[in-house]
Structure 1
Amino acid sequence: DEPLHCPLKVGILIPSSLPTYGGAYEFEHTVFAEALKRYYHRRSQSIKLIPIAYDAADIKVWNIDPTRCLILNPKLIKNENFLLSRIEQKVSKLAGHFFGQPVGKQLSDGANYIDILRSNIDILWSSNPNILTTQIPFIITIWDLQHRLQPFFPEVSELGEWSWIGRQEHYMNVATKAFCCVVGTKRGSSELTQFFGVDPSRIIVNPFPCPEPLIVEGFEDHSILSRFNVASQKFLLYPAQFWSHKNHVNALYALKILISSGSDLKLVLPGSDKGTLQSIHSMACRLGISEFVIAPGFLPREELVALYRNCLALIFPSFFGPDNIPPLEAMSYGVPAIVAKVPGSYEQYGNSVLYFDPCKPEDLAINIQAIMTDHDLRDELVVRGKALLLRLSPAAYLDRIESLLLQHRVALECCTLAR
């Protein structure tokens, strides 16, 4: 017999963010890789995945058939109704791209791009907070709403970040119109309802998955550790870009406390400079601990993995959260994590990490000291972390997205009737 339903045509933008984006990059690439594996290469009977690319180069990276995707063409006429990512908005305000049809074909009249979308897909799915258009059903992923909770940090308030051309207007325009908003925790759901009035029935709590651990030959670790002048189990790791909210200050103060008590631990801070690196260097010098602090800049994932596998512990003092990826990555490499206690963090990590007040360096120092001296505690955290990750696989994340789509299949079919 013929199946009752046709496959849902789900459009998803191919990730094009750079590795220097950190956790955002890892999250988007993890989700997209799992979606390709499940719905594209295996030809699912229930969902037909249609990748959408900024240009032909994107599809080559992922080994995608160009005849089975849509290509954005940034050279065609701009239109204010086409929503860009917020990063591009800063450059070109509300200007946008137009769609080209499958590779090799371009529109002569960009005004028809919505018709092309409607004829090719039933719903758009974005693994980030941005969406191509709000004029057809779409699912959007909300990472955080920290501009409402902690607007005093410059990265969410300066240069229009908070204002009508920034986060506030973006979420008012997008989150309130979404078919569904995906968040990682119940805390994220309540914030979305509180700040933007989104009905809870249009929010799905889907815990963020942990990226698959990278397999790297162990013999390479020694040369990488030597280059950074650190020894295995003799350093702390905090991989984060140098934003104000990342709270490197707490890490330095905690390290000072430990060194003053006789410790010879070092602190490795991989990450791109977003404006605070020089100040962190100056603070380390003022505290007299500069020789114990290594800031190597952005590192390729292979080198970062060597640091994960050999550090005493990962520390994560960021004021922003929850849904931070590095503590999960640490667990995947068998490393304990010490994480700032922020709203929703316990919901994400449970008892698999140690918590501290991000405003109290002495609190962080006490937890580091516990990891150094209590080997049973360290081993127990590793075991708990592995157990948590069993529930946070990319496959489990896609299971919940698929369930959402199929649960509302009839509503989506109704939306296509007038096309």
Structure 2
Amino acid sequence: MKKQIRKEDLVVDARMINSSGIGTYLKNILPIISENFNLTLLGDLKELASFEWTKGLKIIEFNLKIYSLKEQLLYPFIIPKTDLFWCPHFNAPFLPTRARKMLTTIYDVNHLANKESSSFAKWIYAKLLYALAVRKSEKIITISKFSKAELLKYTNAKTKKIKIVYCGVDFAKFANVYQNLEYEVPEKYILYVGNIKPHKNLLTLLRAYKILPENIKQTYKLVILGKKEGFITPDLEIFKFIEEHSLMKYIFFTGYVEDYEVPLIYQKASLFVFPSLYEGFGLPVLEAMASGVPVLTSNATSLSEVGGEAAMYFDPTNFNELSVKIQEFVLNQELGKMYVRKGKLQAKRFSWETAGKRHIEIIDDLINESTYGAA
């Protein structure tokens, strides 16, 4: 039953609703929030109107590029008078707006922690945006204990300002699939999900895969789910490595995949490998677990916090260790089955419904403080 919408006004920047990680977050949190507030969305009118839950909501056309100076200059004119403005990324407005208060979600501080991954100018601009978002936001939502610690390390954020809300996974979506995949994937494969930015560490997986015995490579292809073009900081060394070592016959790039096809690609995998060097949360780990796929993941940053005892871990700087552990899984079916059982239980601990309720509590507290001046 739909809840009665309250009178409090909430404005959300929803331009990134079809981005990979942030888009998944918004698609799951916003429908829950929309049932509790007088919600206005900023973004592409046609894009946002395609979602059933946006019907009846006010949408303000706002298509400017994320991180651009122009978005910052126009924020004060675009954001209407409201009780609270929620920016679900660190590109929060640094000029005054008509919102009484501001809430910002900061998933990680990768741009600051991995300074070498971008130009000095981009690092300076990111540092400025993080600093202003932290200073101007009344509260900050982040998605793991690790990310909270990083925020405290790299910014001037105060502990009391930061609220941890774990992401969720739509267990039913990944555990129950009824559609047929519309294009072919290999019969058996090891799966990687993510983009090709350097911190995703795909090159280590490729190095580990390269030294697998030939019979394993012939049997288990490597499927890379995600776009390989269009990123601000792509890892171009990946394509050079694939070409130099004649790996194309073993590797399948899916390119962009529709939302409804993603669960099937997970479920058909024999093993999921996530070699990332830096993650605020690591949602693909939970998606693979919910899909009934054994998970082999890096032990870096937040990943052990999310995977618990339901994943096997490896040092993301050691491709030899990763190669050995891949062989353990493909040669020992019982090992995989054990991790599948553990993974399904672990994934059930993280729900979007719980995350959505926590967001509502945080927004409620901020709006009440704004309205009544509560401490």
Shorter-chain TM-score bucket reads 0.7 to 0.9
2:150 aligns with one of 191, 208, 218: 191
2:210 aligns with one of 251, 256, 261: 256
2:91 corresponds to: 130
2:113 corresponds to: 149
Give the AA of the match of 1:322. Answer: G
Kindly tell me: are residues 73 and 407 of structure 1, through their superposed partners in 2, closer, same or farther at Cα, counting changes over 3 Å? Answer: closer
Q: TM-score, normalised by structure 2?
A: 0.85
Partner secondary structure for residue 123 of structure 2: coil
2:244 corresponds to: 286
1:104 corresponds to: none
Contact 1:50-1:69 at 8 Å conserved across structures: yes
1:103 corresponds to: none
Kindly tell me: are residues 8 and 398 of structure 1, through their superposed partners in 2, closer, same or farther at Cα, counting changes over 3 Å? Answer: farther
| Offset, 1:343 | 1.9
Look at both structures and tell me which one has the larger radius of gyration over its CA atoms.
1
Measured in 1, the distance between the counterparts of 2:262 and 2:39 equals 33
Measured in 2, the distance between the counterparts of 1:16 and 1:376 equals 44
- Kindly tell me the number of residue pairs found equivalent between the two proteins: 360
Give the AA of the match of 1:95. Answer: L
1:2-401 map, 5 Å? 7=6, 9-13=8-12, 15-17=14-16, 19=18, 21-36=19-34, 38-39=35-36, 48-63=37-52, 64-66=54-56, 68-69=57-58, 71-72=60-61, 86-89=66-69, 92=70, 94-97=72-75, 99=77, 116-117=80-81, 121-132=82-93, 135=97, 136-153=100-117, 157-158=118-119, 160-163=121-124, 166-211=125-170, 213=173, 216-217=177-178, 220-221=180-181, 224=183, 227-228=184-185, 230-231=186-187, 234-260=188-214, 262-264=216-218, 265-272=220-227, 273=229, 274=231, 276=234, 279-401=237-359
Measured in 1, the distance between the counterparts of 2:177 and 2:370 equals 44
Structure 1: gaps of 5 or more residues: 1-5, 40-47, 75-83, 101-112
| Offset, 1:361 | 0.8
Contact 1:341-1:357 at 8 Å conserved across structures: yes
| Offset, 1:405 | 3.5
Contact 1:331-1:386 at 8 Å conserved across structures: yes
User: In percent, how many aligned pairs have the same letter?
Assistant: 19
Structure 2: gaps of 5 or more residues: none
Question: C-alpha root-mean-square deviation of aligned residues, in Å?
Answer: 2.9
Give the AA of the match of 1:16. Answer: R
Residue by residue over 1:14-36, the C-alpha shift from the partner in whole angstroms, topping out at 9 and shown as x without a partner, is 633364x3222212212113323
Residue by residue over 1:237-262, the C-alpha shift from the partner in whole angstroms, topping out at 9 and shown as x without a partner, is 11222222222211111111213575
Matched, 1:404 2:362: yes
Higher relative contact order, chain-length normalized (CA < 8 Å, sep 6+): 2
Measured in 2, the distance between the counterparts of 1:299 and 1:13 equals 26
| Offset, 1:206 | 0.9
